[in-house]
Structure 1
């Protein structure tokens, strides 16, 4: 049974989402929150598997609440699925940095919402790596800077082995574990081992954070597009 906490400051939206999920076999709604502060409290007391999190709320917003929930979890942190109004919402990048596992549009069809909750609950990123890569490029690189030298990797990457850095770079480029395994001629299990060690060394909570860090450290640089 997948335990879900629904967070939205609009009562009608929150109630509708909760009703849909309650009617879905295999999903249990363990709470509803109308603010970021309430979401943090309920996440600590109900231990959900997935938090369906609105972004724009009075007081503590969804981004701050996501970071608090992910970093303060006593045991296994819940997966946070961000709800946003636009597919290129300016807050999505910050939400991924905060530890969210993906994002969903509020006009998503009901069946897609259910699929998304189930996917995130199993540890799968909501969107394909290539879509996540385009999203990160959009926000890391706005406005697009003039061409110049690639920034030196930050100090934290020195804790990684050469192979771990290589795997992190490929994750940052949007490659799946299967694609990385094929490229490096190793097993998917080995790729997962390298990635898990990398995330542990860098204190990363999700694959999304690994992608963002790869861009921020200069390990991966966005491709300049013709204007």
Structure 2
């Protein structure tokens, strides 16, 4: 059932499980010892078509997929979309991005949707990895 969003939950903080789950199409990856609120956030994110990765493993994920290549597709993003993408990659939720950029949360959601469409991505997690890979956000944050 490829249309059903999957959030992987594991007791093993092992890279092969993380990368395997994401490569198989999971939109989220959580560890068993996480706060139950994070489980709820991941389920809600998956329902909205977004992804959520355990903060403990996000850095490893980014390092694995990030590289120095700059993609020409980034030129299609507006200045505002690049600002939103940078904050998204740093883990900011839509509401906080809106406050920071002085725009409505709904406008942030539109920008995120446009970013995903323009870059040919499906989830916020993929967008964050792209931001690091393309150099929009340095690996040291």
Report the TM-score, using the length of structure 1 for normalisation: 0.50
Q: Which has the higher helix share?
A: 2
1:197 is the counterpart of 2:114: yes
Partner residue in 2 for 1:165 = 82
Partner residue in 2 for 1:92 = 18
CA change 1:102–1:114 in 2 (3 A) is closer
* Partner SS state of residue 141, structure 1: helix
Mapped partners of 1:112, 1:183: distance in 2: 24
Q: CA deviation at 1:187?
A: 0.4
CA change 1:199–1:113 in 2 (3 A) is closer
Question: Of the two, which has the highest radius of gyration?
Answer: 1
Partner residue in 1 for 2:104 = 187
Which ranges in structure 1 are unaligned for 5 or more consecutive residues? Answer: 1-42, 44-68, 70-76, 143-149
Mapped partners of 1:112, 1:184: distance in 2: 27
Mapped partners of 1:173, 1:112: distance in 2: 20
Q: CA deviation at 1:171?
A: 0.4
8 Å contact from structure 2 (residues 27, 123) kept in 1 = yes
Q: How many residues align?
A: 137
Mapped partners of 1:214, 1:118: distance in 2: 24
8 Å contact from structure 1 (residues 181, 188) kept in 2 = yes
8 Å contact from structure 2 (residues 28, 52) kept in 1 = yes
Mapped partners of 1:91, 1:164: distance in 2: 32
Q: Which has the higher strand share?
A: 1
Mapped partners of 1:122, 1:166: distance in 2: 25
Partner residue in 1 for 2:129 = 212
Partner residue in 1 for 2:63 = 141
* Partner SS state of residue 103, structure 1: strand
Report the TM-score, using the length of structure 2 for normalisation: 0.75
Q: CA deviation at 1:113?
A: 10
- Greater RCO, CA 8 A, separation 6+: 2
